[in-house]
């Protein structure tokens, strides 16, 4: 039986930075992958949030998100308009309800989302909301909850507590992740910024070397439920 996978990310590009190569691997295995991106991006660059002033860039970014995910083979991308880097100004319950509705609709068995100690406030809020939305109540479809790292947020936290205990060998799909990030040109920075194509490749090579393969994405396992041995 094929798996149903959901990726719940804060900003356009987090989904690829966090688990792009793993998403491509799921797709190649015939799994169904759907992506939920909660915040709009860009508007935090202004002193005050002004969606109108940034409307052109916002719709461009939304198109980019769809194009970048397509490179991985992902066609189900849902974009919400929560305020960029201001998710601490939103009622927690509204964030949780949005995620619960998505889970209800998609019925995923594996969820990938943010780690709880990232520097970025939206990442932390999303992590908390996903964990809440995935309370293991009877009948819940979600069997596994995995937390990814996002270059330029996870390792920028002090102290950085991310210590992966779950690795996906992405030797065959790392190139697709890097291509998808090239599509997200407006979000990427020149090397040696942590959010550069080269740095992301170095990280994947290091995660790979940590477990004896060419390239890997590292995760922290939140919870998994095994039905069959």
* Site mask for Zn ion (CB under 5 A), range 189-218, x = bound: ------------------------------
Residue 14 engages Zn ion in binding (rule: CB under 5 A):
yes
Work out whether strand 144-148 and strand 216-224 pair parallel, antiparallel, or are unpaired: antiparallel
The smaller minimum CB distance to Zn ion, of residues 13 and 169, is found at: 13
Shortest separation between residue 17's beta carbon and Zn ion, angstroms = 8
Cα angle 121-140-65, degrees, rounded to a multiple of 5: 45
The smaller minimum CB distance to Zn ion, of residues 14 and 40, is found at: 14
Q: Which two tokens stand for residue 216?
A: 């890997």
| DSSP class of 185 | G
Residue 11 engages Zn ion in binding (rule: CB under 5 A):
yes
Which residue intervals of 107-141 are DSSP H helices? 121-133
**Sign of the CA dihedral running 90, 93, 94, 99:** positive
**What is d(CA 72, CA 31) in angstroms, rounded to the nearest whole number?**
12
Shortest separation between residue 125's beta carbon and Zn ion, angstroms = 11
Taking CB under 5 A as the binding criterion, the range among 9-17, 18-26, 161-169, 189-197 that sits at the site for Zn ion is: 9-17
Alpha carbon separation from 78 to 96, 173, 178 (Å, rounded) = 16, 23, 22
Taking CB under 5 A as the binding criterion, the range among 8-16, 161-169, 170-178, 205-213 that sits at the site for Zn ion is: 8-16
Residue 131 engages Zn ion in binding (rule: CB under 5 A):
no
Shortest separation between residue 169's beta carbon and Zn ion, angstroms = 25
Residue 10 engages Zn ion in binding (rule: CB under 5 A):
yes
The smaller minimum CB distance to Zn ion, of residues 122 and 169, is found at: 122
- Cα distance between the two ends of the chain: 15
The smaller minimum CB distance to Zn ion, of residues 5 and 10, is found at: 10
Inter-axis angle of helices 92-106 and 121-133, nearest 10? 60
Taking CB under 5 A as the binding criterion, the range among 12-20, 43-51, 65-73, 105-113 that sits at the site for Zn ion is: 12-20
Alpha carbon separation from 182 to 38, 67, 173, 205 (Å, rounded) = 21, 11, 15, 18
Taking CB under 5 A as the binding criterion, the range among 2-10, 43-51, 74-82, 185-193 that sits at the site for Zn ion is: 2-10
**Interacting residues toward Zn ion by CB under 5 A:** 10-11, 14
């Amino acid at each position: 039986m094929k798996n149903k996978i959901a990726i719940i990310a804060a900003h356009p590009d987090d989904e690829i930075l966090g688990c792009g190569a793993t998403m491509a691997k799921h797709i190649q295995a015939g799994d169904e992958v759907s992506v939920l991106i909660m915040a709009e991006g860009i508007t935090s660059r202004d002193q005050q949030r002004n969606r109108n002033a940034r409307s052109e860039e916002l719709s461009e970014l939304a198109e980019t998100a769809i194009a970048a995910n397509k490179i991985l083979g992902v066609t189900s991308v849902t974009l919400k308009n929560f305020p960029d880097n201001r998710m601490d100004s939103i009622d927690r319950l509204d964030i949780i309800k949005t995620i619960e509705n998505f889970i209800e609709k998609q019925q995923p068995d594996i969820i990938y989302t943010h780690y709880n100690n990232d520097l970025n406030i939206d990442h932390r809020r999303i992590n908390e909301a996903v964990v809440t939305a995935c309370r293991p109540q009877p009948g819940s479809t979600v069997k596994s909850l995995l937390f990814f790292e996002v270059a330029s947020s996870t390792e920028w936290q002090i102290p950085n507590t991310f210590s992966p205990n779950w690795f996906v060998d992405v030797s065959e799909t790392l190139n697709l992740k890097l291509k998808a990030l090239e599509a997200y040109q407006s979000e990427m920075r020149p090397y040696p910024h942590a959010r550069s194509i080269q740095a992301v490749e170095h990280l994947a090579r290091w995660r790979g070397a940590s477990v004896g393969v060419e390239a890997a994405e590292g995760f922290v396992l939140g919870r998994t439920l095994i039905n069959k041995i």
